[in-house]
């Protein structure tokens, strides 16, 4: 694990697809496949422990189709730079997803917060009590 929150993933577990990118690029863009689609299977990876896989699956479930994550990059005109950008984005996603949650330290409510809560309850009770009038 690197310090920047990236998790290094083996190249052999990644599946690449290339297609024509939209946007600027002139005549070159119509002839080369610069858009990169990177697919990576969370279930089949050997880079993560079982606990990390479970945590990543929970945190990345909105990005996953089945048990695979797909990252697309068409930001740059060159396929090489888009490949690198997609790989970095996937590694950062996975790296941030496998950071274990910080344990919660139990704290007591402050005296002020307790007093505010009880004061609000008292006011609410008084409002309700004032509504209980005699019916004519």
The reply to whether 25 falls in a domain is yes
Q: Which CATH number covers residue 83? A: 3.30.160.20
pLDDT at 119: 98
Residues with Cβ within 8 Å of 19's Cβ and at least 6 positions away in sequence, in order, are 33, 35, 37
The reply to whether 60 falls in a domain is yes
The reply to whether 107 falls in a domain is no
The reply to whether 30 falls in a domain is yes
Domain that holds residue 64: 11-97
> What is the phi/psi pair of residue 64, to 5°?
-95, 145
Each residue of 27-59: pLDDT tens digit? Answer: 666 666 678 888 888 887 778 888 888 888 888
Name the domain count of the chain: 1
Work out the mean pLDDT of the chain and round it to a whole number: 83
The reply to whether 118 falls in a domain is no
């Amino acid at each position: 694990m690197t310090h920047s929150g990236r998790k290094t993933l083996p190249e052999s577990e990644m599946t690449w697809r290339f297609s024509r990118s939209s946007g600027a690029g002139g005549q070159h863009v119509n002839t080369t496949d610069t858009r990169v689609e990177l697919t990576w299977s969370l279930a089949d990876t050997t880079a993560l422990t079982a606990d990390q896989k479970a945590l990543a699956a929970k945190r990345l479930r909105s990005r996953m189709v089945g048990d695979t994550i797909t990252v697309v990059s068409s930001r740059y005109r060159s396929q090489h730079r888009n490949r690198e950008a997609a790989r970095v984005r996937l590694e950062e996603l996975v790296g941030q997803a496998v950071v274990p949650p910080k344990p919660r330290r139990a704290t007591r409510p402050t005296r002020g917060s307790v007093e505010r809560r009880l004061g609000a309850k008292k006011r609410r009770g008084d409002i309700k009590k004032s509504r209980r009038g005699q019916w004519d």
